Amino acid sequence: MTDKEERNAIRSRSHKYNIVMTKEEPMDSLTLYHTEWCPECAVVRSRLDELEIEYKSVIVPTVRPFRKQVFEVSGQYYVPVLVDGDTVLTETPDILDHLDDLAAT
């Protein structure tokens, strides 16, 4: 299975925690809205770490309607959401492609 096929295959979602927390924000940073339990979020966090890209981490509530921050930036309640300046990405494969492009520059 190719990386893209693997990314496209990651679609499961579940509920476990209800935590809101942020890390210190680097200058000119990316912001990742995510939950601790989300498999797609874990893939994105792993790629960010692998590529050594600094980012602001915003852990959002488990229950979608309580994810007001996510809705404000993306117009929907699903995670992960990556914000890079004026660019807002809501699909894991698009986020991973964007991160790969950033690392290549």
Query: Could you tell me what percent of the chain has a pLDDT over 90?
Result: 71
pTM metric for this prediction: 0.74
In whole angstroms, give the CA distance from residue 69 to residue 96. 21
Cβ distance 95 to 53 under 8 Å?
A: no
- Residue 23, number of CB atoms within 10 A of its CB: 13
What pLDDT does 105 receive?
Answer: 86
Number of structural domains (the chain) is 1
pLDDT at position 11 over 80: no
**Over residues 40-59, mean pLDDT:** 97
What pLDDT does 28 receive?
Answer: 60
Residue 100, domain CATH: 3.40.30.10
Mean model confidence pLDDT for the chain: 81
pLDDT at position 53 over 90: yes
* H helix count then E strand count, the chain: 4, 5
**Over residues 40-46, mean pLDDT:** 98
In whole angstroms, give the CA distance from residue 35 to residue 62. 7
Domain range for 26 is 3-104
